């Protein structure tokens, strides 16, 4: 997902690897004339979600993530990669890190994105999700995937929604398809029931 602000864009997740992240950034930078991606929200440190972190840093972008991930992200960025130099090894840049504690609002008067600490999540600690209050969009990594067979941490989605008093209309996951809030909850409930039956 790419969110438009007055003079820049914000992307959710530096997903998968360098090539994929550069492809997404390059496409995003063509969406609105004169506006480029300046910030990337990284939901958590797992390799598939932070695989493009070094690529984003090589472009000079600011990383928005949970404060508890700063140390591991700094370590990832500091690695020299002498045998297989990636974009960051070829073009060293410092990590620009914008920390999220419980809540961080990215707001320039034309757009607001709230970045929240994920609560009650057994799969990922030190994680964040984003919420765009105008259109009521919930942006997440590893809260849900519509076609999972089982769901082992299904309570985290509603726990986070209730904790922060959100009213999502759409769910945009890193894995899976865009669904309505009702479709997301129905899928999670089905997957949790399958997990209980399996156990």
Residues 56-90: tens digit of each pLDDT: 999 999 999 999 999 999 999 999 999 999 999 99
Predicted model pTM = 0.96
Burial (CB count within 10 angstroms: exposed 0-12, middle 13-18, buried 19+), residue 113: buried
Q: How many whole angstroms separate alpha carbon 97 and alpha carbon 175?
A: 24
User: Looking at the predicted structure, is the pLDDT value of residue 131 above 90?
Assistant: yes
State pLDDT tens for residues 160-171. Answer: 999 999 999 999
CA dist 109 → 7, 42, 106, 130, 134 (Å): 11, 23, 9, 17, 12
């Amino acid at each position: 997902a790419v969110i438009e602000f007055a003079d820049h864009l914000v992307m959710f997740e530096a997903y998968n690897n360098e090539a994929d992240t550069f492809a997404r950034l390059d496409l995003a930078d063509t969406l609105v004339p004169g506006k480029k991606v300046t910030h990337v929200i990284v939901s958590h440190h797992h390799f598939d979600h932070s695989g493009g972190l070094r690529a984003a840093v090589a472009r000079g972008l600011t990383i928005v993530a949970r404060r508890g991930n700063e140390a591991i992200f700094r370590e990832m960025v500091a690695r020299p990669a002498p045998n297989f130099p990636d974009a960051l090894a070829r073009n060293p840049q410092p990590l620009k890190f914008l920390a999220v504690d419980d809540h961080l609002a990215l707001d320039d008067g034309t757009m607001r994105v709230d970045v929240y600490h994920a609560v009650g999540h057994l799969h990922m600690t030190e994680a964040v999700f984003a919420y765009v209050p105008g259109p009521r969009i919930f942006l997440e990594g590893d809260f849900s995937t519509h076609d999972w067979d089982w769901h082992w941490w299904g309570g985290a989605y509603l726990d986070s929604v209730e904790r922060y008093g959100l009213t999502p209309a759409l769910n945009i996951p890193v894995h899976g398809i865009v669904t309505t809030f009702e479709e997301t909850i129905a899928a999670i409930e089905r997957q949790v029931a399958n997990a209980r039956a399996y156990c």
